Amino acid sequence: MKTIIIGGVAGGATCAARLRRLNEQMAITIYEKTGFISYANCGLPYYIGEVITDKRELTLQTPSSFKQRFNVDVFVKHEVLKIDRQQKLVVVRNLVTGEEFNDHYDKLVMATGAKAIRPNILGSELAFCVKTVEDTYAITDYINEHKVEKAVVVGGGFIGVEMVENLVHRGLEVTLVERLEQVISPLDYEMASFLHNELRHKQVNLLLGKELVGLVKEDNDIIVKLKDGEFKTQLVIFALGVRPESDLALNCGLELGLKNSIKVNEYLETSDKDIYACGDVIGIPHWLTKQESLISLAGPANKQARLVADNICGWKRVYLGALGSSIIKVFNLNAAFTGLNEKQLKAEQINYSKIYLSPNNHASYYPGSEALTIKILFELPTYKLLGAEIVGGAGVDKALDVLALAISKNISLLDLNTIDFVYAPPFSSAKNPINMASFIADNLATGQLKQCFIEDLGNLASGAYLLDVRTPKEYALGHVKGFTNIPLDTLRSNTASLPKDKPIYVMCQSALRSYIACAILQGLGYKAYNIAGGYRLYASVYFDALASKKTLPCGMERC
């Protein structure tokens, strides 16, 4: 039996290695059209940024090492031109010599991945894309040879933001152009605002809501033309996402799905039972909605590749989909998310609510403690977890992984309060953030807590009373217009001045002291509502809107 795999990296190479572990007699061949069979594509921006300095660190396996360890025949710089499904053969071209030949298969695996999007605009050829090791070397060489000082990255997704950070790390003046009003679109806007402020703090020229219409060469510069203006730079990098590399599948008559991805069943079989597919080229079910989705991530690709190998060997393993759990480093911040965001929940017309909390990543008295901003989305009335987003320093990945596990196992947010997590001051807090999130949900479910959100501030009834319970010093440094300052520790002695015939909306820095204030007020017969996320969340949105010269989303001004 012979299996041919088209494409290497996460999908193809993983599948080949698993096949060999399962079957020592099978003939296995990989054809890869680039010069590298297995490389750290997620690490490419960090080589450009000189964080990774040794080229050898990018290549995980070579054709010879793969042959030696797994007895797999690997041919790089070999492109599969055609698939003949009737005769079960592929037509291959050696890209070095130009020679073409046929190769027969019993089973075929399509791990062709995705190709970088290059927009159809004037001067598109003047920009680089970042997809392969060859792209990375070309950008690095160009920066060195032309002594580049200014660069533009078009696209604010993962690769775009990582490229921005690494170009700044190299000492370049960097502009980020993004058509949407935010970077990292899977995050909701208020969470992305923390990243916007961090990017600006690192002197990145952030142009959000701007559309690129063309590039023009002028001497040693490139004129970047936007819909509403233009400016000069020396280097342009497109990071506009990817689309499935499915031309081979289309030309041989395989069924395609979402955005021309290859359609597969639960066994990762294509419409031809002898052809499997995995990785960025296929559409997969979203874990929660079960709808076909494109989730171009290394984690799902590796899992799919393993299952393809298992199923070729007759195991009949089912692939259930992915949540899209992801994380990114943005200078001194990390941002992670899993599941569905608010935009998706509204589009799906799912009845949901949310909570925010801002715990420290470990005991506050232990040196190096950093605040996390956690947003959790859940279904009503079940409190079933639907999504989570976290921004902060160390510990973002740990908390997000727990929530991703809980979502995948259909665990209610209310059930997370009993889990015992490890604790010591350097690692966590005695009140673990995940337990605390569950406690907040329990307070909501029992009616102990009533909340509103910063986007509601502009719509509060004129008859409401607005209360800020931070210290006078905190209040003086900045507060929301219309809020009266009564510090929490003096609240009980000042309740006589508060109206009992009006709702009281309470704010503090992170919504913890305001929750305590609400408990006091409710216990004394007042109608009190905690403003989720607190002034900390409001200020992030406010300063982002101010820097972008946008209308403040929550309506109320800062003083």
The answer on 170 and 227 residing in a single domain is yes
- Residues 213, 231: Cα–Cα separation, whole Å: 12
The answer on 393 and 372 residing in a single domain is yes
In a domain, 556, yes or no: no
State the pLDDT at residue 376.
98
Domain containing 215 — which CATH number?
A: 3.50.50.60
> Which range is least confidently modeled, 317-321, 409-413, 529-533, 542-546?
542-546
In a domain, 380, yes or no: yes
**pLDDT tens string 365-381:** 889 888 999 999 999 99
State the pLDDT at residue 345.
97
State the pLDDT at residue 553.
63
Mean pLDDT of the chain: 93
Largest CA distance in the chain: 90
In a domain, 48, yes or no: no
- Residues 416, 441: Cα–Cα separation, whole Å: 10
State the pLDDT at residue 559.
66
DSSP 213-281: EEEEEETTEEEEEETTEEEEESEEEE---EEE--HHHHHTT--B-GGGPBP--TTSB-SSTTEEE-GGG
**pLDDT tens string 57-83:** 777 778 898 999 999 999 999 999 999
Q: Is the dihedral of CA 189, 190, 191, 193 positive or negative?
A: positive
The answer on 468 and 435 residing in a single domain is no
- Closest CA relative to residue 143, chosen from 120, 176, 169: 169
The answer on 133 and 192 residing in a single domain is yes
User: pLDDT band at residue 554, thresholds of 50, 70 and 90?
Assistant: low
The answer on 105 and 8 residing in a single domain is yes
CA distances from 91 to 76, 79, 82, 163, 398 (A): 15, 9, 5, 37, 47
Predicted structure pTM score:
0.93
Percent of the chain whose predicted confidence (pLDDT) is above 70: 98
In a domain, 540, yes or no: no
Catalytic residue, chosen from 42, 252, 554, 559, is 42
The answer on 108 and 251 residing in a single domain is yes
The answer on 437 and 460 residing in a single domain is no
Structure tokens at 294: 């494109």
The answer on 233 and 134 residing in a single domain is yes
β-pair type (78-84, 89-94): antiparallel
Structure tokens at 251: 């030309």
- Tell me which of 446, 469, 485 is where a domain ends: 446
The question of whether 129 is a catalytic residue gets the answer: no
- Residues 443, 437: Cα–Cα separation, whole Å: 10
Place of tokens 């360890």: 69
The parent domain of residue 410 ranges over 332-446
- Tell me which of 446, 481, 502 is where a domain ends: 446
The most confident of 127-141, 222-236, 451-465, by mean pLDDT: 222-236
State the pLDDT at residue 44.
83
Place of tokens 């009373």: 465
Give the chain's domain count: 4
- Residues 7, 112: Cα–Cα separation, whole Å: 5
Place of tokens 């660190």: 57
User: pLDDT band at residue 548, thresholds of 50, 70 and 90?
Assistant: confident
The answer on 156 and 71 residing in a single domain is no
The answer on 408 and 358 residing in a single domain is yes
The answer on 279 and 183 residing in a single domain is no
Q: Is 494 helix (H, G, I), strand (E, B) or coil?
A: helix
In a domain, 220, yes or no: yes
* Section 112-134 average pLDDT: 93
Residue scoring higher pLDDT (35 or 210): 210
* Section 225-242 average pLDDT: 95
The answer on 496 and 464 residing in a single domain is yes
